[in-house]
Chain A
């Protein structure tokens, strides 16, 4: 099994853990963590393909740098939302944020 396959396997596991968290956890923070995990699984793929792929340029690295920056911003916004939610509802359970239901 080549290193590339190992890396892809790891990122798949990471992605699935993140997805599971997003889908089943009730706490908004844990859902946010799951999202970050999924994001990092994607980053890992970028790096893996840059390192072991046919290569030639630095596209993969640059993508990852962008992605990390965006993820930081996203985490900030996400946490702010969680705080706002907590202020309104005194809880961070996602079920509480269902005002748009029909």
Chain B
């Protein structure tokens, strides 16, 4: 069974209906909204699979179905649906992960009184994301994009009683909206320049070749192509949603929401939107590639930002003590990899990594959720420890997810998708810096994940919660197992010598390499992963932490240098003085940057706006308003003065009359004499 393009709207419509149902169901009915949401997701998953099946019949065909939204003047805004393998794969991904997260949530939020509303929001989140995936119109994509932002706001701030959650929700909403402003401007510009917001419209769409040729050949002052400018504006939007430097600050805070929400945000629904947008409009982004005259290519900007983000996120993850925060920075870093891949021209590799990452990151977050639930909301890895024995399933699945994230060779999915990205970056002719950044990131990723696993699951329990932890219920373990299978196995869909996924996504010929061609790179990156694991083990594995209050070994490295100089292994010192110190310094500087410079920049911008607002208010009340008030006051004052003459005493009036009469008389007499 396949699904035709004209029926694609059913995919987002089913969760949307579930959402409406869940939000309007009476508050006392707890199970109804849950059942509705699960039903909606199952239906959407079925429809997505059908759609994907339809798309895979001939991957090169893009089935579209458009309709007019409204007409204004000479222009008609048309929206539409688009089915291609990219949309199909993403739909299956989103509905599958959404379903698993929803199942997990039924157990995770079992004590929350507002669980019904939670499922309503969750369905809305998934519905908005699905709408974003299957649309053929940049405008409809923007609309769903905004709804995704709205749903994330509602979910991050779901526990709005906690000030941190309310603040995080606000921060996420505002920060992504800054990006959305770029998106909106890009959208309006594109619409003006092409007269259509449709992607594919039989040659007239914004992504069809004739339009692209026109866009890239139209030059702005300074020699920039119009397509470059529009592409970069759209990228601003994508950077906001996908947590790219310097708009990444909201993402680590967003873990204030319930953990399943973090899993959803970090895996499938929110941050994936930016990468998906870039993949969708890739022809536009790449339209200026062939032009030697333009001073700047849109993709170069994407690559640079992606590389910076990949490195920054990884460095920051090293210094975090909150289990979810480590994972959040790791998401930032991985998203950087995806953007990097798009920047160097391989959007297929980016989407490949997006898919594998979605599974293993959802796994890691849900695993973290399982730990947090079992330890009565303990998230500080210094107070965890020793959970490997008590939570066997959680540990095993978490370890598999870790392996995938690190990119352990050959078995794990993350390895193949990351290889694809690194391979593309290696071949990028403009600069080798992104490639280098990617390699450094590999080491760091392995290092911080080793640290995380060692601190959480090994050693001895260092807190009440960890000491009495028990394995989570079956409804939480089940999704973990399913995700773990996917985290391991999915990479086999896109082997270099059997690029099934790539061929389908590309919709045609994808170069098939033997395993031998990229073998050198594989060896290098494997070595780097092992280096990171070794370093992690060096600091955290050899001597297990025994006391929650003990200093982080990495932070202790400064005095450790002296101790080593006193007579320990020289190798120790070499490591600590170079790599370790550099690591620690880099991490601290980056944490400082993140906390003070970028956080501070957002803060400062807010403050500035507030100050300007205060000044404006002063102008309004004392300046513009004062004119009006003064005039009125003058009128009133003069009225009061004249009223004084009105004494109410009849005789004084008469006296005035008499004086007047006398004066008139004198004048008349005088006149008479003359």
Binding site for B on A (CB under 8 A): 19, 22-24, 31, 94-95, 97-102
Docked Cα-Cα span, A80 to B646, in Å, equals: 25
Closest chain A residue to B650 by CB distance? A94
Docked Cα-Cα span, A102 to B644, in Å, equals: 6
By the criterion CB–CB under 8 Å, are B650 and A101 in contact?
no
By the criterion CB–CB under 8 Å, are A23 and B648 in contact?
no
Closest chain A residue to B649 by CB distance? A98
By the criterion CB–CB under 8 Å, are B651 and A22 in contact?
yes
By the criterion CB–CB under 8 Å, are B642 and A23 in contact?
no
Whether, in the assembled complex, B647 has its beta carbon less than 8 Å from a beta carbon of chain A, the answer is yes
By the criterion CB–CB under 8 Å, are B651 and A97 in contact?
no
Q: Which residues of B contact A95 (CB under 8 A)?
A: 649
Q: Which residues of B contact A102 (CB under 8 A)?
A: 642-648
Docked Cα-Cα span, A43 to B643, in Å, equals: 38
Query: In the complex, which of the residues B648, B651, B655 contacts A101, with contact meaning CB atoms closer than 8 Å?
Result: B648
By the criterion CB–CB under 8 Å, are B654 and A22 in contact?
yes
By the criterion CB–CB under 8 Å, are A23 and B649 in contact?
no
Query: In the complex, which of the residues B644, B648, B655 contacts A100, with contact meaning CB atoms closer than 8 Å?
Result: B648
Docked Cα-Cα span, A31 to B651, in Å, equals: 9
Q: List 12 A-B contacts (CB under 8 A).
A: A23-B655, A31-B651, A94-B649, A94-B650, A95-B649, A97-B648, A98-B647, A98-B648, A100-B648, A101-B648, A102-B643, A102-B647
Given contacts A23-B654, A101-B649, 17 further A-B contacts (CB under 8 A): A19-B658, A22-B651, A23-B651, A23-B655, A24-B651, A31-B651, A94-B650, A95-B649, A98-B647, A101-B646, A101-B647, A101-B648, A102-B642, A102-B643, A102-B645, A102-B646, A102-B647
Docked Cα-Cα span, A102 to B646, in Å, equals: 5
Q: Which residues of B contact A19 (CB under 8 A)?
A: 658
Closest chain B residue to A97 by CB distance? B650
Q: Which residues of B contact A97 (CB under 8 A)?
A: 648, 650
Q: Which residues of A contact B658 (CB under 8 A)?
A: 19, 23
Q: Which residues of B contact A94 (CB under 8 A)?
A: 649-651
Q: Which of B641-674 contact A (CB under 8 A)?
A: 642-651, 654-655, 658
- Distance of B654 from chain A, by nearest CB (Å): 6
Number of cross-chain contacts by CB at 8 Å:
32
Q: Which residues of B contact A101 (CB under 8 A)?
A: 646-649
Q: Which residues of B contact A24 (CB under 8 A)?
A: 651
Q: Which residues of A contact B642 (CB under 8 A)?
A: 102
Docked Cα-Cα span, A9 to B560, in Å, equals: 130
Q: Which residues of B contact A22 (CB under 8 A)?
A: 651, 654
Docked Cα-Cα span, A77 to B99, in Å, equals: 100
| Residue among B642, B645, B650 with max Cβ neighbours from chain A (10 Å) | B650
Closest chain A residue to B644 by CB distance? A102
Q: Which residues of A contact B643 (CB under 8 A)?
A: 102
Q: Which residues of A contact B651 (CB under 8 A)?
A: 22-24, 31, 94
Q: Which residues of A contact B647 (CB under 8 A)?
A: 98, 101-102
Q: Which residues of A contact B649 (CB under 8 A)?
A: 94-95, 98, 101
Q: Which residues of B contact A99 (CB under 8 A)?
A: 648
Docked Cα-Cα span, A56 to B645, in Å, equals: 49
- Distance of B642 from chain A, by nearest CB (Å): 7
- Distance of B608 from chain A, by nearest CB (Å): 53
Docked Cα-Cα span, A48 to B152, in Å, equals: 108
- Distance of B204 from chain A, by nearest CB (Å): 78
Docked Cα-Cα span, A9 to B648, in Å, equals: 35
- Distance of A25 from chain B, by nearest CB (Å): 8
Closest chain B residue to A99 by CB distance? B648
Docked Cα-Cα span, A22 to B650, in Å, equals: 10
Q: Which residues of A contact B645 (CB under 8 A)?
A: 102
- Distance of A37 from chain B, by nearest CB (Å): 14
- Distance of B235 from chain A, by nearest CB (Å): 73
Closest chain B residue to A26 by CB distance? B651
Docked Cα-Cα span, A94 to B646, in Å, equals: 15
Closest chain A residue to B645 by CB distance? A102
Closest chain A residue to B642 by CB distance? A102
Q: Which residues of B contact A100 (CB under 8 A)?
A: 646, 648
Q: Which residues of B contact A98 (CB under 8 A)?
A: 647-649
Docked Cα-Cα span, A10 to B476, in Å, equals: 125
- Distance of A94 from chain B, by nearest CB (Å): 6
Docked Cα-Cα span, A94 to B650, in Å, equals: 7
Contact digits for B280-323, partner A, Cβ 8 Å, 1 yes 0 no: 00000000000000000000000000000000000000000000
- Distance of A65 from chain B, by nearest CB (Å): 27
Closest chain B residue to A24 by CB distance? B651
Docked Cα-Cα span, A13 to B384, in Å, equals: 119
Docked Cα-Cα span, A53 to B651, in Å, equals: 36
- Distance of B271 from chain A, by nearest CB (Å): 74
- Distance of B645 from chain A, by nearest CB (Å): 7
Docked Cα-Cα span, A31 to B645, in Å, equals: 22
- Distance of A79 from chain B, by nearest CB (Å): 16
Closest chain B residue to A19 by CB distance? B658
Docked Cα-Cα span, A1 to B435, in Å, equals: 135
Docked Cα-Cα span, A19 to B655, in Å, equals: 10
Closest chain A residue to B640 by CB distance? A102
Q: Which of B362-403 contact A (CB under 8 A)?
A: none
Closest A-B pairs by Cβ, 6 of them: A101-B648, A102-B643, A98-B648, A102-B646, A100-B648, A101-B647
Docked Cα-Cα span, A78 to B647, in Å, equals: 21
Q: Which of B26-47 contact A (CB under 8 A)?
A: none
Docked Cα-Cα span, A23 to B660, in Å, equals: 14
- Distance of A88 from chain B, by nearest CB (Å): 14
Docked Cα-Cα span, A53 to B422, in Å, equals: 134
- Distance of B323 from chain A, by nearest CB (Å): 80
Q: Which residues of A contact B655 (CB under 8 A)?
A: 23
- Distance of B339 from chain A, by nearest CB (Å): 78
Q: Which residues of A contact B650 (CB under 8 A)?
A: 94, 97
- Distance of A26 from chain B, by nearest CB (Å): 8
| Residue among A19, A23, A24, A31 with max Cβ neighbours from chain B (10 Å) | A23
Docked Cα-Cα span, A94 to B647, in Å, equals: 12
Q: Which residues of B contact A23 (CB under 8 A)?
A: 651, 654-655, 658
Contact digits for B606-645, partner A, Cβ 8 Å, 1 yes 0 no: 0000000000000000000000000000000000001111
Q: Which of B496-532 contact A (CB under 8 A)?
A: none
Closest chain A residue to B659 by CB distance? A23
Docked Cα-Cα span, A33 to B644, in Å, equals: 30
- Distance of A55 from chain B, by nearest CB (Å): 26
- Distance of A35 from chain B, by nearest CB (Å): 10
- Distance of A48 from chain B, by nearest CB (Å): 21
- Distance of A50 from chain B, by nearest CB (Å): 25
Docked Cα-Cα span, A31 to B649, in Å, equals: 13
- Distance of B669 from chain A, by nearest CB (Å): 15
Docked Cα-Cα span, A99 to B647, in Å, equals: 9
